[in-house]
Each structure stands twice: as C-alpha cells, then as structure tokens.
Amino acid sequence: MDTFQLIILLLDATLRTSTPLILAALAGMFSERSGTINLALEGMMLGGAFSAAAIAFYVGSPWVGLLAAIATTIALSLLHGFACITHKGNQVVSGMAINILMSGLTALVGIALFAQGGKTPALDKGSRFQPITFPGADAVQDVPVLGLIYSELLSGHNILVYVAFLAVPAGWWVMYRTRFGLRLRAVGENPGAVDTAGIGVVAMRYRAVICSGVLVGMSGAYLSTAQGASFLQDMTAGKGYIALAAMVFGKWRPFPALAACLLFGFLDAAATRLQGVVLPGIGEVPVQLVQALPYILTVILLAGFIGRAIPPKALGRAYVKER
C-alpha cells in the first residue's frame, strides 16, 4: 500500500469519525445562538443512540430508528427548554443533569429490555444504514489518483455522512440568509430589543432547541445504526463535549466548526492508524497517548489557544420580560 492510498484511507476514516461531531456541533450552535447553553449534547446523543438501536432492532428499519432517536432528543431538548427557558433555571446545571440522567437511564432500560449489560442486540444489515456506492465507483477505482478519490473517499459512505456535510451549508443558509436565522441570532444578542419588536423570545428559543434536538438525534442514531451495529453503554465517550469544543473553536459559526470537527475526526482516525506504529527516534507510539489525543486537543483549545471566542451576548441569561 503506497503513501497516497494510506492518506486516502485516513481521510476516508476522518469523514466517518467527524460525522457525529458535525451534527452535534451544529445542534449546539442553533441552541446557543438563541442564548440557551446546551451542555446536554452528550446525554442527548446517548438517548438518541439507544432509541435508534432499540427501535431499529424491534422494527428492522434504520429509518424508524432514526425517527425514534429524533423524537427522543426533541423531548430531551424540550425538557431542557422547560427548565431553562420557561422556569429560568441554571442552564449549565440542567444540561449536566440530562447528561447524568441519560448515562444511567440508557443502561438501566437496556438491561431491563435486553439483559445484555446495558447493550442492545447486534443489528443485522437490514436494520442499519448501509454504504452508498456512487455510479461507476467500482469501474474507476484502478484509475490513478482520481479513481481512488472517487471510489474510496467520496463513495461508500452511508447517507447520514452525506447529510452531515450537507447540513453545514444548509445551517449557514438558515442562520444567515433567512428571517428565522436573523431573529434567532437577534434573540441571542439582544432579546429585549427583539421582544420590543413584537417577536416572542420564548417561542424563538424553543424553536432553536427543537432544531438542536433534530440534529443531535441524527448524531446519536449515526453512532448506533450507521457507524456501529448496536448501542453500548456510554458509547458517546465524550463526543458531545468535543462537539461543544468544536463549536467554540468555530466561534459559533458553521464552516469554522466544520473545520474543527474535521480536525478532531482526523485525530480520532489517526489514533486507530497509529496504534502499534514505530516512529523514527520515538519508537512505538503508546496506545493510551494516541487515544487521548482528541481529548488533549479539546483541553488545549478550550484553554484559550484559539484566540478570543466571543459568545452571543445573552448566552446563558434567562430573559425576564419587562413590565
């Protein structure tokens, strides 16, 4: 296997590993642009992953599993909104409470339903999202350079991978080119002025957290019915927090957040490839160090090495209507 082929395979793995991060980062962006901190992404991803795997196992359809995941995460988003928007509770506490709740609840329900230590049974091919082969991909795979890029890098992913990357320009268009996006950003910056203009701040924030729920539900479903073939206890492994770091790294904007997710995905993919590799002057790379690279980078970025990231002015502040 030559160097170019190794690079293509690494980039191919990067696209797959970055997909759940992209969807979750966009979910966080919609919520936080409206002024609602969403630390619950980790727990929502867990809930979505479990619902998708469990329903797909019973029904035999990944699409029904995806709908179940989205329904679950929308319900969790509304719960978060009920605590933070309606009752003006602490948004950080509410998010962490959902994370803790779902970490325990998914394992408990999994044990009750399947008696497999919190796991769901393995899904067959009909219950999972399968790779999509582009027309002519097999015919051109031996063509130098372009053939490998088309057949290996672009083709062969499941539909949620393509949806995630299409969601980035779609999210940008919604956020910056629609009336809904303009109002959503205004609510996150100056809710008092928006309210004075006759736009419901509470309604806009609820709509934002629902959008967030849809996206993070797709992220969770990807983990258990596309990238994997079942739900495993705490299978998100901090991806919700990494997605939040990517969102902050991207300064709450879609395309910079995409770049951050690709960076994290690349490190995750490289971690698998570097295990057991002997580097000149270093020797064999410790497996633990390689696996910790994405989390180390998360800490570095959040420590302020990305320049000043200015959040929406009303982020984390409950809106109290003036009388």
Q: Name 166's bridge partners.
A: none
CA 10 to chain centre: 20
- How high is the pLDDT of residue 294? 72
Cβ atoms 158, 269 nearer than 8 A: no
Mean pLDDT (the chain) is 88
In DSSP notation, 7-30 reads: HHHHHHHHHHHHHHHHHHHHHHHH
Instruction: Calculate what percentage of the chain has a pLDDT beyond 90.
Output: 59
Task: Please tell me the distance from the alpha carbon of residue 64 to that of residue 56, in angstroms, as a whole number.
Answer: 6
Amino acid 175: pLDDT: 94
Give the model confidence (pLDDT) of 94-129 as tens digits.
999 999 999 999 999 999 998 888 889 999 998 999
d(CA 48, CA 46) in angstroms, rounded, equals 5
Coil/strand/helix, residue 42 = helix
In this structure, what are the phi and psi dihedrals at residue 279, rounded to the nearest 5 degrees?
-100, 140
Residue 278 pLDDT greater than 90, yes or no = no
pLDDT tens across 63-103, in order?
A: 999 999 999 999 999 999 999 999 999 999 999 999 999 99
Q: At which residue do the structure tokens 């990517």 appear?
A: 246
Stronger pLDDT, 302 or 62, i.e. the higher one: 62
Residue 190 pLDDT greater than 60, yes or no: yes
pLDDT at 304: 59
Q: How far apart are CA 221 and CA 129, in angstroms?
A: 10
Sign of CA dihedral 289, 295, 298, 304: negative
For residue 17, pLDDT beyond 80: yes
Tell me which H or E stretch contains 260: helix 254-274
Length of the chain counted residue by residue: 323
Whether the predicted pLDDT of 1 surpasses 60: no
